[in-house]
Structure 1
Amino acid sequence: MLEQTRIADTGKIRIVIIGGGFGGIELAKSLAGAEVQVVLIDKQNHHTFQPLLYQVSTAGLEADSIVYPFRKIFDKQDNFYFRLAEVQSVDTTTQIVETSIGLLRYDYLVIATGATTNYYGNEQIQKHATPIKNIEDALSLRNTILSNFEKALQIDDEEQLNSLMDYVIVGGGPTGVEVAGALSELRKHVFPKDYKELDFVKMDIHLIQSGPKLLNGMSDEASVKAQKFLEDFGVKIWFDRKVVSYDGYTVTLDSGEKLISRTMIWAAGVAGAPIEGIRKESIVRGNRFKVDTYNRVEGYDNIFAIGDIAAMVTEENPQGHPMMAQPAMQQGRLLGKNLQNIIVSKPLKPFEYSDKGSMATVGRNHAVADLKVMKKEYRTQGLIAWFIWMFIHLISVIGFKNRFFVLMNWMWSYFSYDKGIRLIIGKKKENIPVEAVTQKAVV
């Protein structure tokens, strides 16, 4: 039996989208009202607003404030179908997608699987480091951070204590900078109240960057200012260093230097998440599919890729467009129009990326922003950049209810100097067990 996913064949052209990230969502929306059948497949039943994952991991937001069910997003789109499944492979000859719940035929296939954490082939680091790529990662990190301090209350040995209180963040991009800033705020305003017995002068936050500057891709002004903000917050920045090993306790750098920490947060890079069945010749550096200016995967007429998984190699972008939300959203919207043009034999419009700029927040009243408006560049740092960052992220969160709760949490945190989501629920990252090296205290 060909169809096992219980999606009726309506007789219309079927467009299957794999992945409900920023690109996949925009593509599906752009096909509303078109005489096609839109099928979205994702291994989660919700869209995640990834730019705010770090706030979930640092107790600033509840997880359900930044996720939104696919079925709710598209509840009024009659040509839309969703299936919760994991794609296993694609047969490009018979035009069949094999999923964990069965087989699905397609006329046009769009791969929008996004990216996965890139450990650069280091299996030891992959085993012990903590990524921040999805909701599960963020909740696991929050649980780990809070559990570490609960354990620290039982430790007298200085090295063991420091290993629980110190944090190593690898990667000086926006995620690494934002996590470092959030942890420094927790260290200053929150943890001393929760754990009065601990001396938070001993809590070190290390940020390791492989290059000579933070926030590659942003202006030098933004990089320098972000560095100053973090150093003022007491974050120790290590430039021109790479992590070569981490066993869950000792972080070893390529310089030979060592740091002791039970929690190493990996924000050092991402790679594409390609699907089995697509010709290997179509995959380029970073595990991305090489696409033309219409987002067609090289070697295919009816298979497309958008967002992080797509490498549109041009003279202006020899490595493809940046792996961020804006290129994915713009590609999704244009591809929706182009697919409709293909169906009626109209000419296609090539993709031209409209760069809106980049932003990163470092903490309360501190952010950096490189904005592009009407082909003019505007750069700002500090309080104004912070307000711009908050506004842009707030309006980008899907769902009025989610925006309301995000805003309320931000206002509460700002005026109370508190982060109220300090709950240990679910899994946490387990590395080397804390050794019983101290005598039990008399209570």
Structure 2
Amino acid sequence: MLNFDKLSLNIPDTTKPRVVIIGGGFGGINLAKKLSGKHFQVVMFDKQNYHGFWPLLYQVATAGLEPDAIAEPLRKMFGSDDYEDFHFRLVRVTGIYHATNTVATLIGDLQYDYLVIATGTKPNFFGNEQIQRYSFPLKHIPDALNLRSQLLQCFEQASMTKDQEIRHSLLNFVIVGGGPTGVELAGALAEMRTHILPTDYPGLDFSKMNIYLIEGLDRVLPPMDPKSSEKTHRYLEKLGIVVKLSTLVESYDGLTVMLKGGEQIKAHTLIWAAGVSGALVDGLPAESVERGRILVNPFSQVIGFNNIFAIGDIAFMKTEKYPRGHPGVAQPAMQQGKLLAKNLRRLIKGEKLEPFEYLDKGSLAIIGRNRAVADLPGNLHLSGFFAWIIWLFVHIMYLVGFRNKLVVISNWMYRFFTFERGTRLIIRPFVRKGDKSARDFFKKYNPDS
């Protein structure tokens, strides 16, 4: 067993300004890539050793892709001579001591000259502990693999029971949240129901498999244009998905979904895609945090500090155009990371900093084969096949690593002609004595999920 007392961060001393980045997401990696090792020592902390392309996480959950197709090891990304003074440590950050410019981790502390918080978000269950315990979030690769196993185990169990009520419950899938994750997951499940599952389970009647998409607001894809929302709603209904708008989930005990108003849905699987909150780090004063995110100025500086920054989903930058902060998608994080690298160079030279201006490149969502919606610059709204092609191109372009691009393209081409999903593997951890279910076991050993 590993003795943490024998570990240390083991970061070499330096005469260069030290930039500590917490988080290896879109913001963190774009910042680190643009910071030259000649001018800074860059140290990145993350509790996972890879950068993941989370927009495709639902495809891992629905057996369309393997996890290594959407993830790239951080050490591989920064292993060349171009990053001569870059240091990655697989460790959890436990706090910030801004009075001494120190970051605390599980295996030691490290002083910084500049600190960048790029920790992203975590699922927001709005204080409902029962839903948190029994639902399936979809934020990280372990979540996706666990959900994939859950889906497949439900089909296996449904094929082995003669009890119609239990079978019906096993074949009910409830997705809470009508944003891109919920919509795309619902579409993928519907395609599995039509093209894959009847062949795998010939003894089951999949006309009785129900997919519910529940959204608290009055339309799906609330961040997108109403035209795109309406088109998406029609696509979902054509796929046989039951869409419930202006509906809230009150509770879930692992077997029954209770909706506000009294309606009940018997289901062994509830997938939580209803919201996120900032993955905050302890140590910042209360006045630097608002609505679960870190308040920053137009230069990404945390309010009240000159040498602490926040970028990406964790950052709350209020502007006239975005009074509630920028959209929680990859583009703001990437753009903020690149600009912050320039501003850190300006800062050490005593030059004026450049304020951040978000360049909105549009929004996309896919609802199955040949079905997608796109809100593009210039008030251009597309749907159908052309929006689907744009979605494919954009997601391939932003994948990290040539191998990942090649793997995803080949998988998509194979699925386009065959409808096949080749990764239908159940790899959920076994249940130990004392754990009530595989779900409880997963939550116990993956507490951040």
Instruction: Place the TM-score, normalised by the shorter chain, in its bin.
Output: over 0.9
Q: 2: distance between equivalents of 1:426 and 1:212?
A: 36
Q: Which residue does 1:298 correspond to in 2?
A: 303
Is the CA contact (8 Å cut-off) linking 2:37 and 2:86 kept in structure 1?
Answer: no
2:19 to 15, 21, 28: 15
Aligned to 2:444: none
Structure 1 residue identity aligned to 2:63: A
C-alpha deviations, 1:5-50, integer Å up to 9, x for none?
1110121100000000000000001103441100010000100100
Paired AA for residue 315 in structure 2 = A
Q: Deviations over 1:323-371 (max 9, x none)?
A: 1111010000000100110001010000000011100000001000011
CA positional deviation for 1:105: 1.0
* Residue 168 of structure 1 pairs with residue 179 of structure 2: no
Match in the other structure for 1:70: 74
Cα offset for 1:315?
2.1
Q: Tell me, what secondary structure is at the counterpart of 1:97?
A: strand
2:233 match: 227
Q: Distance in 2 between matches of 1:135 and 1:199?
A: 31
Correspondence for 2:434: none
Question: Does residue 53 of the first structure (1) align with residue 48 of the second (2)?
Answer: no
Runs (5+) with no aligned partner, structure 1:
433-443
Cα deviation 1:269-299 (Å, max 9, x = unaligned): 11001111111111101x1000000001111
Report 1:60-209 matches (<5 A). 60-76=64-80, 77-209=83-215
One-letter amino acid of the structure 1 residue matched with residue 124 of structure 2: N
Over residues 368-425 of structure 1, what are the superposed CA-to-partner deviations in whole Å (9 max), with x where a residue is unaligned?
Answer: 00111xxx23210000000100000011110101110000110111100111110111
Q: Distance between the aligned counterparts of 2:314 and 2:419, measured in 1?
A: 39
Deviation of 1:173 after TM superposition, in Å, equals 0.3
Question: C-alpha separation between the residues in 1 aligned to 2:132 and 2:187?
Answer: 24
The CA deviation string for residues 101-142 of structure 1, in whole angstroms up to 9 with x for no partner, is 211110000000000000011000000000000000000000
Q: 1:391-430, aligned counterparts within 5 Å?
A: 391-427=393-429, 430=438
Q: Which residue of 1 aligns with 2:447?
A: none
The structure 1 residue matched to 2:251, chosen from 235, 241, 245, is 245
Alignment-mate amino acid for residue 355 of structure 1: D
Determine helix, strand or coil for the equivalent of 2:319.
coil
> Contact 2:225–2:375 at 8 Å: present in 1 too?
yes
Q: Is the 8 A contact 2:28 2:337 kept in 1?
A: yes
8 Å CA contact 1:87, 1:100 repeated in 2: yes
CA-based RMSD: 1.4
What code does the residue aligned with 1:67 have? A
Q: How far did 1:426 drift?
A: 2.8
- Paired letter, 1:30: K
Question: 1-side partners of 2:385 and 2:46: how far apart?
Answer: 38
Name 1:367's counterpart in structure 2. Answer: 372
Q: Distance in 2 between matches of 1:25 and 1:251?
A: 39
How far, CA to CA, are the matches of 2:106 and 2:157 in structure 1? 40
Distance between the aligned counterparts of 2:210 and 2:372, measured in 1? 22
Question: What's 1:440 paired with?
Answer: none
Alignment partners' CA distance in 2, 1:79 and 1:292: 29
1:294-325 Cα shifts (integer Å, max 9, x gaps): 00111111100000000001222111111111
Is structure 2 residue 5 aligned with structure 1 residue 6?
no
Q: C-alpha distance in 2, partners of 1:386/1:182? A: 14
For 1:189 and 1:427, the matched residues in 2 are separated by 28
Aligned partner of 2:41 among 37, 48, 51: 37
Q: How much identity, in percent, do the aligned residues show?
A: 52
| TM-score, normalisation: structure 1 | 0.95
Three-state SS of the structure 2 residue aligned to 1:363 is coil
CA offsets 1:211-270 (integer angstroms, 9 cap, x no match): 110101111111011111110000000010000100001001112111110000000011
What SS is found at the alignment partner of 2:96? strand
Partner Cα distance (2:45, 2:342) in 1:
20
> Which amino acid in 2 is paired with 1:182?
A
State the SS of the aligned residue for 1:32.
Answer: coil
Alignment of 1:316-355 (within 5 A): 316-355=321-360
CA–CA distance in 1 between the matches of 2:209 and 2:132? 24
- Name the residue aligned to 1:314: 319
Tell me, yes or no, if structure 1 residue 256 matches structure 2 residue 279.
Answer: no
How many Å separate the matches in 1 of 2:139 and 2:413? 26
* Contact 2:257/2:266 (8 A) holds in 1: yes
Q: Which residue of 2 aligns with 1:284?
A: 290
Q: Which residue of 2 aligns with 1:380?
A: 382
Q: Deviation at 1:430?
A: 3.5
Question: Residue in 2 aligned with 1:216?
Answer: 222
The letter for the 2-side match of 1:329 is: M
State how far apart, in whole Å, the 1-side matches of 2:38 and 2:345 are.
7
Is contact 1:132–1:267 with CA below 8 Å preserved after alignment?
A: yes
Match of 1:320, SS state, is: coil
Q: Within 1, Cα distance between the matches of 2:418 and 2:299? A: 49
1:427: Cα distance to partner?
3.4
Q: After alignment, is 266-275 or 29-38 more displaced?
A: 29-38
Letter in 2 for 1:312: M
Tell me the residue number matched to 2:274: 268
Distance (Å, rounded) in 1 between the aligned partners of 2:171 and 2:439: 14
Matches of 2:429 and 2:388, distance apart in 1: 32
Q: CA deviation at 1:431?
A: 5.6
Q: In the aligned structure 2, how far is the partner of 1:246 from the partner of 1:227?
A: 25
1-side partners of 2:152 and 2:26: how far apart? 31
Question: Is the contact between residue 214 and residue 223 of structure 1 (CA under 8 Å) also seen in structure 2?
Answer: yes
Asked if the contact 1:170–1:265 (Cα under 8 Å) also holds between the matched residues in 2, the reply is yes
Q: Contact 1:262–1:431 (CA<8 Å) still a contact in 2?
A: no
